[in-house]
Amino acid sequence: MDFIPQIEPSFDEKEADAVREYVLSGGWGTEFKKTAEFESRLAEFTGAGHCIVTTSGTIALTLALLARGIGPGDEVIMPDLTMIATANAATLFGAKPKFVDIEPETLNIDIAQVERAIGPKTKAVIHVSLNGRSNDLDALVRLCKERGLYLVEDAAQSLGSYFGDRHLGTIGDVGCLSFSMPKVITTGQGGAVLTNDAEIAAKARKLKDFGRAGGGNDIHDTIGFNFKFTDFQAVIGIEQMAKLPKRLERKKDIWRRYREALAGIDEIAWIETDTGKVAPWFVEIFVAGREALAAELKEKSIGTRPIYPPIHAQEAIGLDNLSFPVTEDFAARGLWLPSSVTITDRQIDYTCDAIRAFFGG
């Protein structure tokens, strides 16, 4: 069996032809009509009132926070189990992440603990719908409204996943998507801010375009940056969006195939997932001593990846005097299995056979 990567992107003639056509059409490369079209497709798909694309999911989160004026001295509550970008997006402009533990059923931020963590400096909460799953966002919206807090949804992993009938990233004040390589659609790098709030949308647009007072001029009434997208990326994004519905179905099939093939192995724990609402970007299992399993799978040409370590204890953050037991427990056991949209049923079955054999089945 050829090596099965844990994740790989998928492009074909559609993207190649679209880039060629764009380049030969005299497009300037910089964000313009193709970017606007990509934004419209995303807004239409998610139901968001406004969509602003930017350089990455990290910068989408940063723009979301800056658009509400969050900065030095402000605290942002977030889960301890997430990709480190969630925290770094706040740190970039001097805000301080305040970590809380997660719920074991969904691996989402523990809402009761959010309530306890709110202090005088708290300005915002970031909810992370890890792997497209969500806990009770309505309860979190209520809590944030009551306490005057800005609710940001880090929906980087959640394009195509829903809470009830609402797309993730459209329920809080603002939501953020990522189009980095491992995501269900990719533009190489890229991210988007989703919001129904016209003021937040206008601020985010201005912040990413040098703080220009109007399009195309050099009059600046506020500080801004260059976090703009490119039309080169947008033409790829538009083609990837056309493939999205099929990809989401495939992601759900992949999840179900693994779940069924590995059912009954007592050593494996799962986060149960409703594929009616959730299109998991990665399939993850939880096993004690995952390193031995990962090594065995590598021997058999199967790529895996441990899930994120608890952020508070990362050297970059340096809060290892704190403890978040649920995060620590899941982070120590979580292993991502091969999950690309390109994976074949045969490769999934081969991977599941190898896992079964490891557990002596």
Ligand X SMILES: Cc1ncc(COP(=O)(O)O)c(C=O)c1O
DSSP 243: H
Q: What is the closest distance, in whole angstroms, from the C-beta atom of residue 140 to ligand X in the complex?
A: 16
> For the chain, how are helix, strand and coil distributed in percent, rounded to 5?
40, 15, 45
> Least Å distance between CB 218 and ligand X?
29
Query: Does residue number 158 form part of the binding site for ligand X (CB under 6 A)?
Result: no
**The binder of ligand X chosen from 56, 135, 170, 195 (CB under 6 A):** 56
Segment lying near ligand X (by CB under 6 A), choices 23-31, 150-158, 234-242, 257-265: 150-158
Contact yes or no for 296/351 (Cβ under 8 A) = no
User: Is 97 a residue that touches ligand X (CB under 6 A)?
Assistant: no
Region of 4 on the Ramachandran plot (φ > 0 left; ψ -120 to 50 alpha; else beta) = beta
The residue within the footprint of ligand X, chosen from 86, 122, 233, 240 (CB under 6 A), is: 86
Q: Which of 178, 230, 240, 275 binds ligand X (CB under 6 A)?
A: 178
Question: Bridge-partner residues for 176, per DSSP?
Answer: 154, 193
Contacts of residue 320, Cβ cutoff 8 Å, sequence gap at least 6: 312, 313
Nearer to ligand X, 133 or 347 (CB): 133
* Residue 72 backbone phi and psi in degrees, to 5: -55, 135
Judged by CB under 6 A, the chain residues 242 through 271 that form the site for ligand X are none
240 binds ligand X, rule: CB under 6 A: no
157 binds ligand X (CB under 6 A): yes
Q: Which stretch binds ligand X (CB under 6 A): 53-61, 103-111, 227-235, 267-275?
A: 53-61
Q: Which of residues 179-238 bind ligand X (CB under 6 A)?
A: 180, 191
CA distances from residue 217 to 30, 213, 225 in whole angstroms, order as listed: 15, 8, 15
Closer residue to ligand X (CB): 134 or 180: 180
Q: Can you spell out the DSSP letters for 135-181?
A: --HHHHHHHHHHTT-EEEEE-TT-TT-EETTEETTSSSSEEEEE-ST
Question: 124 or 128: whose CB is closer to ligand X?
Answer: 128
Nearest distance in Å: CB 292, ligand X: 26
- Residues written for the chain: 361
Burial of residue 282 (number of CB atoms within 10 Å: 0-12, 13-18, 19+): buried
What's the min distance (Å) between Cβ of 248 and ligand X? Answer: 17
Q: How far apart are CA 271 and CA 316, in angstroms?
A: 29
83 sits near ligand X (criterion: CB under 6 A): yes
Nearer to ligand X, 190 or 224 (CB): 190
Contact flag: residue 52 with ligand X (CB under 6 A): no
Judged by CB under 6 A, the residue of 53, 114, 156, 159 near ligand X is: 156
Strands 50-54 and 191-195: antiparallel
Residue with the two structure tokens 């934004």:
39
Contact with ligand X (CB under 6 A): which of 74, 101, 153, 154? 154
Q: How far is the CB of 247 from ligand X (least distance, A)?
A: 17
Task: Please give the residue whose beta carbon sits closest to ligand X in the complex.
Answer: 57
Confirm or reject binding of residue 140 to ligand X (CB under 6 A).
Answer: no
Task: Tell me which residue of 280, 293, 265 sits closest to 341, measured CA to CA.
Answer: 280
Do β-strands 166-167 and 162-163 pair in parallel, antiparallel, or remain unpaired? antiparallel
Exactly one of 7, 52, 57, 334 binds ligand X (CB under 6 A); that residue is 57
Name the site residues for ligand X (rule: CB under 6 A): 56-58, 82-83, 85-86, 128, 154, 156-157, 178, 180, 191
